[in-house]
Chains A and B, each alone.
Chain A
């Protein structure tokens, strides 16, 4: 008796949790398929009259600049991820495979840096980026994304340790130099770590708002987050259009999540515990 009661309570709580999670998302989706008139005259829980009314989506993509924003995000992501992989893997290679003067100091520097939250230092970081003449440039974001990502360094360090040293040694006997060992032995063997970093970093960059908000002012260079934020201004009263912008932002992440669930869970939990 208590057993069935417990089971019922368990499923009821799960359903309630799921409704709380999904309802706000569902309503934004309904709204994105309504016309302006319809949005104002129907209740938020009413279903859209035409399930194939994609007019808001085309407008968000073209007039409101979501297309351009996707392009900017992809460019920034591509450059930053290449930098992050080389920086993370290079650091891990040097720290795991070599013993040298100053190694302890470098480890301590990376360790302490994990304690400094990026938001707290932007007041001063801004002056450095500005001093480099990068304010307003996509390079400001690329540099910050690849230069301050300590979590990735740790993911690579941890993984590097599991690559057998005998692989390096065999290559060295055949006369390979350190650069060749790094590029041809280490990097290919780091593939799972690279995949993890690409996924969590990709989602991180895609969702980042604070940095583009501080450093990018040119409307043509805005990435997704800040482009979506701009909807609040000129389209502030067109909720059906804002809704479409929100759904457009969510779809790529949803698709990624459905296909790569396991990697995403692992990536974020290992990322958070670093």
Chain B
């Protein structure tokens, strides 16, 4: 939330610096040992980091685009070019199209999560007893291992488990369901678990942003007779808009790439298969690397699109990176 690190202002600025630097070094004696070493130093420091960046991030992206237009099975020496067949299959195979629809549950979940986070961040930014305790409790689930969370909720949601028992004691027997077994309910249950897991992070981000609002503004508003609701609507919300925007893209891109919770809890059965579960299954169980790559490209494009849209809609958020 502070200003961007040096040089991130844009490539043009960096390029200008480069030119001046190059000119300066040309003036100072050409070809002398220490000067040449000085010119070489940054490259020596960057060779491993940039090498790994190219090898483990950029090369896979490029390869993925290449695989996606072939029928490669991951083993064969020959990759046959098949054009856009894999993309056509991604968007027409009903089983695959289904997984897009499953993402919607998690997207709705991420809105619930933002609303809860905003509510708790707002009330905890004012005077509250045991503030740190509430903050700690609400945040802690974010730190728990995803597999552990899956198992905790399998235990909690299984028939006769914690939730059913609580509902029974409250006399709400009618609400009891096969939480992870019923295809009509399972996605709601799993999205609910995701909300439980991630609300804490969103909440702490919002709380930090609210607490960095200058307190003079509240005092001035109080003099003008503003109510708490006015404060929220006219001071807090506008001030934290960039962070809300950020939480929004994190929520959407997270919803598109959900894996752990459904994989651990249902393995993708009962209509809970997500995009990543299906991609992994295609690539590693059915050896359809070409098709899986096309799916991964589609996912990547979606995520980039959401990020671009968010930056377009909230233009003041330039220091995201």
Contact = CB atoms under 8 A, between A and B. Distances in A.
Interface in A80-125: 87-88, 90-91, 93-111, 113-117, 119-125
B140 A257 contact: yes
B318 interface: no
B205 A273 contact: yes
Contact of A250 (B49, B128, B145, B303): B145
Secondary structure of the B side of the interface? Answer: helix
Contacts of A65: none
A43 B165 contact: yes
A209 B162 contact: no
B53 A27 contact: no
Interface in B282-321: 283-284, 289, 292-293, 296, 299-300, 303-304, 307, 320-321
Secondary structure of the A side of the interface? Answer: helix
Given A111-B321, A203-B143, A207-B145, A24 B153 contact: yes
A273 B161 contact: no
Contact of A101 (B22, B134, B139): B22
Nearest to A153: B49
B303 A115 contact: yes
B234 to A, nearest CB: 19
B123 A10 contact: yes
Given A103-B7, A107-B14, A153-B49, A246 B143 contact: no
A57 interface: no
Interface stretch (B100-108, B174-182, B252-260): B252-260
Interface string A116-149: 1101111111111000000000000001101110
Contacts of A13: 119-120, 123
Contacts of A249: 144-145, 147-148
A78 interface: no
A184 interface: no
B305 to A, nearest CB: 11
Contacts of A18: 134, 137-138
A120 B257 contact: yes
Contacts of A104: 7, 11, 14-15, 18
Contacts of A160: 5
Interface stretch (B58-66, B90-98, B216-224): B58-66
Interface in A22-55: 22-25, 27-28, 31, 43-45
Given A111-B8, A113-B58, A99 B17 contact: yes
B321 A154 contact: yes
B12 to A, nearest CB: 8
B271 interface: no
A114 B321 CA distance: 8
Contact of B56 (A25, A128, A274): A128
Interface in B46-104: 46, 48-50, 52-61, 63-64, 67, 74
Contacts of A22: 137
B118 to A, nearest CB: 13
A31 to B, nearest CB: 7
B266 to A, nearest CB: 11
Name which of B43, B136, B144, B145 has the most chain A CB atoms within 10 A of its CB: B145
Interface in B222-254: 228, 243, 246, 250, 253
Interface string A243-274: 10110011001100100010011001110111
Interface of B: 1-2, 5-8, 11, 14-15, 17-18, 20-22, 38-39, 41-43, 45-46, 48-50, 52-61, 63-64, 67, 74, 116, 119-120, 123, 128, 132, 134, 136-148, 151-153, 155-156, 160-162, 165-166, 169, 196, 201, 204-205, 208, 228, 243, 246, 250, 253, 257, 259-260, 264, 276, 279-280, 283-284, 289, 292-293, 296, 299-300, 303-304, 307, 320-321
A-B interface, 6 closest residue pairs, ranked by CB to CB distance from nearest: A99-B21, A147-B52, A104-B14, A124-B60, A94-B45, A98-B42
